[in-house]
Structures are given as structure tokens and as C-alpha cells.
Homo-oligomer: A and B are copies of this chain.
Amino acid sequence: MAKMKLYYSPSSPYARKVRIVAMETRLDKKIEMVNVALTPVAPNADVDKHNPVGKIPALSVKGIDLFDSPVICEYLDNQHKGRRLFPRKGRDRWVALRLQAMADGLLDAALLARYEGFLRPEEKRWPDWSKGQMKKIDGVLDALEAEIRTLKGKPTIGTISVICALGYLDFRFTSHDWRGKRPKLAKWFAAAAKTPSVKATVPPPN
């Protein structure tokens, strides 16, 4: 396999999903990492060349550029011989993909809240928007607490996505106490955080 190139940032939670999957599938040595910085109002020309949506992560493989994170993760999961992180079929697959969608949905809301509160000029911020996004974040957290059994067992793309989502809250929403009313989720995350691939990809301090 030709060397792959991953456009990422150490603080991107979506790129963290890919980096964890790369380590879990032992493909990390075959990936050249390209560290880039961008926001929706300050794009990166190099990233734009590989992903017209202008977002990271983007994976450049021989002859094709892949995005977004679910596509890259599934692609990597098809390039190794170990246990699959994307269950191939049946209910396990839908449970894992649904969990990924929940975690990515939390992240989409968290990023929008972050852009609203930090990127946008102060006088143009709209509290209702931030409130709406925070409601989505809390909705997902409550659902995860209620169905904690879904998270048990060996890692899947679903549990990896949840780890990256919770890790992002700890990184960028330190004042949002998500653990208080969700002891089961907090306990699960504390255990999951000890995994080497999770520890190796913790976002750097600001």
C-alpha cells in the first residue's frame, strides 16, 4: 500500500477519531501526518485541494482523497486483518453507526457553539443559537447515560466516536459539568481514557 497522507490538527476531535482508528488497526506507521490549522472563516488552501468542503480530517490515498471522518475510518478499517471496528452487518453494525452519528452529532453542535462563542465577533453572537446547540449536546449525553450498556464490550467506531466527543467537551467546554448527572457515562469514560490510543491523542493544552 502506498503511503497515505492525513490532514489533521491535534485539536480536531474528528481527526482524533481517525488517529485512534489508525492506531487500533496498526496502520498509523503507514500514514504521513500533515498538521494544519483552519476555521470556517480562515480556510487552508492545501486542505481545500484534497477536500472541497475545506474540512479536516482528509485522507489522501493513491488516486483518491477521502473525507469525512466516518468514510476515512471505515476505509482504514478495511485495510487491516484484525478485528473490525465497523461490524460488517446485522444489528451490531447499525448500533455502532448510530452511536457514531450520536457522537458526531454532539461534536457538530459543540463546534458550532464554540465558533459562536469564540470565533464570531462578540456583538454578533446569538444566545438562542448557543442554547439550541447546548441542548443537542445535553440530549446526546442523557441518551448515552440511559443506554450505557450500548457502550460496553470491545471498541467499535461507535465507542471511539463517543470517546472523542467526551474528550472534546473536557478540552473546550471545561465549565460544562457533563459528569454530574451522568455517573455511568463518567465511569465508562474514565476507564476508556486509559486505552493507549486514546491517551496518545489527547488534545494539547491551550
Contact = CB atoms under 8 A, between A and B. Distances in A.
A71 to B, nearest CB: 5
Contacts of A52: 102, 105, 136, 139-140, 142-143
Nearest to A125: B124
A129 B124 CA distance: 11
30 contacts: A40-B129, A40-B132, A40-B133, A40-B136, A41-B131, A52-B140, A52-B142, A52-B143, A53-B102, A53-B108, A53-B109, A53-B136, A53-B139, A53-B140, A54-B135, A55-B105, A64-B95, A66-B94, A66-B97, A67-B101, A68-B101, A68-B104, A70-B70, A71-B94, A71-B101, A120-B129, A121-B126, A124-B124, A124-B125, A124-B126
A139 B101 contact: no
A120 B91 CA distance: 40
Interface string A95-133: 101100110111011000000000011011110110111
Contacts of A109: 53
A44 to B, nearest CB: 12
A195 interface: no
Interface of A: 39-41, 43, 48, 51-55, 64-68, 70-71, 74-75, 78, 89, 91, 94-95, 97-98, 101-102, 104-106, 108-109, 120-121, 123-126, 128-129, 131-133, 135-136, 139-140, 142-143
Contacts of A142: 52
Contacts of A106: 53
Given A52-B139, A126-B124, A43 B101 contact: no
